[in-house]
């Protein structure tokens, strides 16, 4: 049995790492589309076409379940994929819903009507494509009412992290938080809507101030995945080996991934 995890680059490794710790007996096949990253500045059709191609590659590896550990793909492609592309015996899930469930303190699978929740002013930090899609606001509206969401497109942060330039990444994060605060001075919660951003969580928290609770995705998605596989064990596919695949240069991506997770990671060509 194997579960596929897809990201446009290396950010999804934060989700993979948490999932491996939560589910140590499950093989994971990770695919990073580094040749076409970043997705956050691409058109919805581009994102859809690239995401479906990558997901099919993971299906071919024996994964019945694929997690889109890329907020941009989850925002711009997931619904269209689920409605018209995903085979009946496969599942593709995104990373928004576990985050929103944590934010609204609703249990997995709670389909009751939307209600008032503890947070009122939410800052969303994400890529330009994720912010413009308004997918987060749409999913939130299914579960909560009366929540004001202010999106901040964080251009350049993913590129800086992928390049290993964390000094630049920190400067960009602080600049984007300042821009957000000009629109929403005192958010009481902040969503890190990109799987790269957990690496900068301390910077986001410091820049936002202690009044804002920062929600990051990796551990939340891992816990939701464990719950899902408990309820749907048949969705763990036929694959039996963990591997790392990339559309980019395997040696270069392996080096960056090893730095990213601080343990040896070896990619092969997708």
Catalytic residues: 70, 194
Sign of the torsion angle spanned by Cα atoms 9, 207, 152, 118: positive
Residue 179 CA to its chain's centroid (Å): 23
Place of tokens 């308004």: 134
- State the Cα–Cα distance between residues 225 and 195, nearest whole angstrom: 16
* CA gap 152, 149 in Å, rounded: 10
Q: Which 8-state DSSP code applies to residue 114?
A: P
Q: From CA 106, how far away is CA 103, in angstroms rounded? A: 8
What are the tokens at 38? Answer: 């970043």
Token pair of 82, please? 């689920």
Q: Report residue 213 as tokens.
A: 């609770």
Which tokens is 46 given?
A: 């581009």
Cα 201–Cα 249–Cα 130 angle in degrees, nearest 5: 40
């Amino acid at each position: 049995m194997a579960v596929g995890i897809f990201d446009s680059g290396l950010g999804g490794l934060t989700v993979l790492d948490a999932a491996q710790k939560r589910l140590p007996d499950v093989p994971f096949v990770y695919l990073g589309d580094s040749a076409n990253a970043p997705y956050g500045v691409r058109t919805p059709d581009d994102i859809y076409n690239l995401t479906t191609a990558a997901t099919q590659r993971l299906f071919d590896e024996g994964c019945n379940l694929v997690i889109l550990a890329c907020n941009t793909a989850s925002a711009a492609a997931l619904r269209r994929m689920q409605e018209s592309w995903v085979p009946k015996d496969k599942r593709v899930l995104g990373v928004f819903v576990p985050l929103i469930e944590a934010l609204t303190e609703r249990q997995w699978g709670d389909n009751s009507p939307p209600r008032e929740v503890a947070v009122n002013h939410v800052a969303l930090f994400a890529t330009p494509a994720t912010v413009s899609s308004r997918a987060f606001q749409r999913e939130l509206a299914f579960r909560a009412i009366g929540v004001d969401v202010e999106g901040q497109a964080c251009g350049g942060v993913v590129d800086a992290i992928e390049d290993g330039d964390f000094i630049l990444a920190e400067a960009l994060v602080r600049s984007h938080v300042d821009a957000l605060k000009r629109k929403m001075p005192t958010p009481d919660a902040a969503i890190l809507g990109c799987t790269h951003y957990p690496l900068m969580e301390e910077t986001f928290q410091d820049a936002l101030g202690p009044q804002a609770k920062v929600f990051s995705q990796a551990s939340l998605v891992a816990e939701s995945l464990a719950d899902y596989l408990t309820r749907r064990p048949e969705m763990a596919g036929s694959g039996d080996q963990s591997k790392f695949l990339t559309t980019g240069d395997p040696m270069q991506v392996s080096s960056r991934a090893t730095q990213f997770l601080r343990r040896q990671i070896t990619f092969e060509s997708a």
